[in-house]
Structure 1
Amino acid sequence: MDLIQQQNEFRTASPSFLGRGIEAITSPATKVASKMVPSGWIDKLVKAIDSATSKPQLVNFKHDQSDMQACQRAAKKIENTAKLLNGTTGALSGFGGALTMTTDIPATIGLAARNIRDTGRAYGYEGQGPAEQLFRLQILEIAALNDKTVRQKRIADLETQIQADGSLVDPDPAIADPLVDQAIERISRALAMAIPKKKAGSLIPVLSALVSGAVNTSFQGDVSKAARFAFQARRLRSSGQ
């Protein structure tokens, strides 16, 4: 499929089918799961998200970063590794049900941060500085959203940050921190709504391990797709497309 077409399809796509399907299955348990996520806890996790980016790469790669197809192959390897790791931890946490749900969520968010960082590196972006931090947060928010209209608006917001050479608009130092804080608040709100719904399957004994593993795998897939879109958008912009 043509890369431009891929990008356009992502812009208009609905939230993942699996995520929405899991929510429908587990809706009776969602309120219980929500009560198990302490107030402000996800907000603290998101604020600490960049600490995860200091950890080793999920996949070591050496490819010609001027070759878009090579970049895509490297990014796909990152996605597969993130899915495998998070799917396994999700399945294991599922066996513990409610007791282990709150240990799996930090692991999932931390792995998502590394997924985004490594995908950026696959396309040649090291991700240093406040503009890059804000960009990563925007990617995570897009991956977490379940509302199609809001998702499309956030995608448009992300694309306005990309300059003609593929670099990012450097936020005014006076407003950089408030912008990051606003992004953290939005992401925390999106995750606080999405995670209890999706992790509610952990409270249903027959489904727990299966659902937890599938949800984590689906989420990392959503993160990877959002990250590939974002970094491909930068590469396309820099090539005048």
Structure 2
Amino acid sequence: MAVVGPWLTAEQRSKLDGSDDALFYEQPRFVTHVDDAFLKRLTQLYRERLQPNSQVLDLMSSWVSHLPEEMLFATVVGHGLNAQELDRNPRCDRWFVQNLNQQSALPELDSSFDAVLIAVSVQYLQQPEQVLAEVRRVLRPGGQLIISFSNRLFYSKAIAAWRDGSDAQRLALVQHYIRQTAGFSEPEVIAEVSPALGWQQWLGLGQDPFYAVLARAV
């Protein structure tokens, strides 16, 4: 996988299933798409990096936000593609449905959030530059972006640049997204991989790898 130019080519943005994403997510999925160890690590990362009583935007979310139960926030705004999932999310004070691949402009005010979260979903963005520019717009100075992912995905809905890359290349791709977006600090990378992979992982002997890329609004 090679990034051509400052962003992606049309081919790199393409999906095997080019139908409207809203159709794919029309039916609610009240499941989690990574293992419990990944989710526990994600919650711990949020515990370490987020501040109580802050304003949080959970982009590309669903029925659970993985925020620490003991932490209280001033506001948590959820976003996703399925209203039933978002309506069941107990951490969301309010939420909205929007297909970011068709409309990247967020219906939120400038500098209105202390943190923006994108959990196990960045691989589906076809216009990441537009979405991250909007993320930067709604973040307050010093606000934090946390993008987390593993090696699981809906293969037909992930962009080619993601499908064709290794885990290391996907980490590099997310860092590239952030570096190419004005107003973010140099990204910080967290990569934690279980020694049991491949056939061992399929037998339940390993854990999903945990990757996160973080940056602050500057």
Using structure 1 for the length normalisation, give the TM-score: 0.28
From the two aligned structures, give the one with the greater helix fraction: 1
Q: Please tell me whether Structure 1 or Structure 2 has the larger radius of gyration of its CA atoms.
A: 1
Which structure is higher in RCO with an 8 Å CA cutoff and minimum separation 6? 1
If the length of structure 2 is used for normalisation, what is the TM-score?
0.30
Give the structure with the larger strand fraction. 2
